[in-house]
A and B are shown apart, each in its own frame.
Chain A
Amino acid sequence: MIPNARIEEAAYTIMGKAAIEIPEDYRTGIRGMLEKEENELSRFVLMSMIDNWEAAEQDRRAMCADTGVPRYYVKVGNEARLDGGFIGLEHALRSATARATRDVPLRPNRVHPLSRQDNNNNVGINAPEIEYSFEPDADWIDVTTVHKGGLFGTDYRMLFPGDGIDGIKKFFLDVMVQFGRRGLACQPAIVGIGLGGSKDTAMVLGKQAACLRAVGDANPDPEIAKLEQELKDLGNSIGMGPMGFVGTSMVVDCHIEVGYTHTGGMPMSVHSFCLSSRRATARVHADGRIEYRTDPKWFTPYMRREGIEWCADAALHAAE
């Protein structure tokens, strides 16, 4: 039985960790880009960011004052039992958000979209968002928080099968350039792409691909992994770098997630997770133990439905 109080503690802790500690995979990725970058202005930006992450960790202050719209991704083991139930869990996540907003502090970014009412705690209607997934043969829950801004760097487009890889590349470039100029996307970014599903699925998959996969991680499907590498290289060959200066540092990594889609369409989304790619995960075990990490491990084989009721026959007989 997982104690609700431990979930609250874990959620509170990852709020601070995400805001202050840059994930090591991202830092390594940016250092690699700095080695290749030749433009003086672009190099200055990358070096300033590396200095900034060190300052954040030394001072225990947020690395970026735009602490985004803090939200949660929760993966629940099929065998996990929560002593407060899911309502208790959601209460704990709201409480942890409000406490961390005051204590870290985070910027209270969350306001009512029309009245602009600010509760000064990042909690409100549909805030923080909580998304769920499940995992077989596990009795833990993973709570991940992501702090992502979100005014720029994301776009959606309905493509059609006839648009092919050209259409994908062109839309990818559109987003890189339109938000890359002046560095509105705060690049170099982890670029996540959602392909397929319905419009909303494509948006959700792309966001998760950007925020919940570490730099260096490749899609297990070799064809998709090849496209990830191609798009990453394409983005870095534009001749544009950080802040839209001349350079080669646009895309730290590219992650693509797919979903089966309408036979007539190919919806696509592109999301840029910025120079302050903030994510942190806590695993709360059945005995209340908490383990912290920076790789959310969200896209498990089960999540991608690998080997699960693929063919029509198996799906038809699944109920028997």
Chain B
Amino acid sequence: MTLKSARLRLPVETSDLEPLEIGTVVYLDGIVYTGREGLYKKIDEGVMPPVDLASLGNANFHCSPAASVGDDGTYNLGAVTATASFRFSRFLPKFFEISKAKLILGKGGMSEQDYRDHFVPNGAIYLTTVGYGTGALLGRGIKRVRDVHWLKELGIAQAVWVLEVENFGPFLVESDLRGRSLFEQSNRETLDGIERVYAGLKFPALRRYGETVNRDDEVI
């Protein structure tokens, strides 16, 4: 088996996403903008960003760059790496409403429930970064910092960076337009092995409060 590969021009149409199966390797060209706790929390509190997110394209990256701002206002951007996305689940309805995003890029995906409830109705899919530390490869794919919003309010790590990218990747299709998840598929595929390695091991004398004994459960 060889992995399938695709290159997408941003912004995307939902029809571009139609042929993408989970596990496909994806590279991007165009504009992506970053956003994490800082952005989502402010939107949740009813504070709108200083720029119309939908005008920035439709690819939101859960990420912040290793970057510095020179005294002359220029940006020195080294590596970029995603942050874990499951934390932003509760912000999704409002975020999709104002951003019209079709691609969410991040680390580790979200739940199939999130995909069904929020991604599928918006014709959006989730792309996960690989590894997760391909910060140098992703950094190479950034051709220019077009703009940075909320830099002063949120700091370098949480600001909204608008990035022009070329051959930006690799990413893997984590959720498709039907809401299927590569990670949850992997969870199901690895469950038998997990049961096998635990076989015969006794539980410790002291349990933890609320401890689950179901290994099908995730901690996220």
A63 touches B201 (CB 8 A): no
22 cross-chain CB contacts under 8 A: A19-B66, A40-B2, A45-B131, A55-B139, A61-B78, A65-B66, A65-B79, A65-B138, A67-B79, A108-B156, A118-B155, A118-B156, A120-B156, A163-B204, A173-B201, A177-B215, A178-B218, A181-B187, A183-B108, A183-B132, A238-B190, A275-B131
Q: In the complex, what residues of B have CB within 8 A of residue A243's CB? A: 128, 130-132, 183, 186
A238: chain B residues at CB < 8 Å are: 190, 193-194, 197
Contact of A27 with B by CB under 8 A = no
B residues less than 8 Å from A178 (CB atoms): 218-219
Asked if B60 is an interface residue, CB under 8 A from chain A, the answer is: no
Say which one of B12-20, B42-50, B80-88, B92-100 lies at the interface with A.
B80-88
Distance between A148 CB and nearest chain B CB, rounded to angstroms: 12
Least Cβ distance of A235 to chain B in Å? Answer: 9
Could you say which residues of chain B place their CB within 8 Å of the CB of A44? Answer: 3, 25, 130, 170, 172
Which of B187, B198, B203 is A244 in contact with, Cβ under 8 Å?
Answer: B187
List A189-223 residues whose CB lies under 8 Å from chain B.
none
Stretch touching chain B among A80-88, A150-158, A296-304: A150-158
Chain A residues numbered 228-249 whose CB sits less than 8 Å from any CB in chain B? 234, 237-240, 242-246
The A-contacting residues of B in range 111-145, CB under 8 angstroms, are 128, 130-140
Residues of B within 8 A of A237 (CB): 193, 197
Known: A183-B108, A276-B133. A120 touches B155 (CB 8 A): yes
Does A35 sit at the interface, judged by CB under 8 A? no
Q: Is the CB of A48 within 8 A of B220?
A: no
Contact A105 B201 (CB under 8 A): no
Provide the residues of chain A in CB contact with B183, threshold 8 Å.
Answer: 181-182, 243-244
Q: Which residue of B lies closest to A266 (CB)?
A: B204
Quick one: given A106-B66, A239-B190, are A275 and B79 in contact (CB under 8 Å)?
A: no
| B83, B84, B131, B155 — most chain A CB neighbours (10 Å) | B131
- Known contacts A66-B66, A107-B66; 6 additional CB pairs below 8 A are A40-B1, A56-B136, A67-B66, A157-B204, A181-B187, A238-B194
Q: Residue A160 contacts which of B204, B208, B219 (CB distance < 8 angstroms)?
A: B204
Give B203 Cβ to nearest chain A Cβ, in Å.
7
Give the one of A61, A111, A163 with max B CB within 10 A. Answer: A61
- A234 vs B189: C-alpha distance in the bound complex, in angstroms? 18
* Interface of B (DSSP majority class): mixed
Q: B2, B136, B156: which contacts A62 (Cβ < 8 A)?
A: B136
**B108 pairs with A246, CB closer than 8 A:** no
**Looking across the interface, which residue of chain B has its beta carbon closest to that of A101?**
B68
Q: How far is the CB of A101 from chain B (nearest CB, A)?
A: 7
With A62-B136, A182-B109 as contacts: A177 and B194 at CB distance below 8 Å: yes
Contact indicator per residue, chain A 268-286, by CB within 8 Å of chain B (1) or not (0): 0000001110000000000
B51 at interface, CB cutoff 8 A: no
Choose, from A89-97, A164-172, A255-263, A307-315, the stretch at the interface.
A164-172
Which A residues have a C-beta under 8 Å from some C-beta of B? 19, 40-41, 44-45, 48-49, 51-53, 55-56, 59, 61-67, 101-109, 111, 118, 120, 151-152, 157-160, 162-163, 166-167, 169-171, 173, 177-179, 181-184, 186, 234, 237-240, 242-246, 274-276
Quick one: given A66-B81, A244-B190, are A107 and B1 in contact (CB under 8 Å)?
Answer: no
- Min Cβ gap A189→B in Å is 11
Q: Is the CB of A167 within 8 A of B108?
A: no
Contacts of A171 in B (CB 8 A): 204
Contact of B67 among A59, A105, A111, A184 (CB under 8 A): A105
Chain B positions within 8 Å of A109 at CB level: 157
Instruction: Report yes or no: A275 in contact with B133, Cβ–Cβ below 8 A.
Output: yes
CB distance from A258 to the nearest CB of B (A): 18
Compute how far the CA of A45 lies from the CA of B157 in the bound complex, rounded to whole angstroms: 26
Measured CB to CB, the nearest residue on chain B to A169 is: B201
**Bound-complex Cα distance A206 to B108 (A):** 25
Bound-complex Cα distance A56 to B187 (A): 31
| Minimum CB–CB distance for B123 against chain A, Å | 24
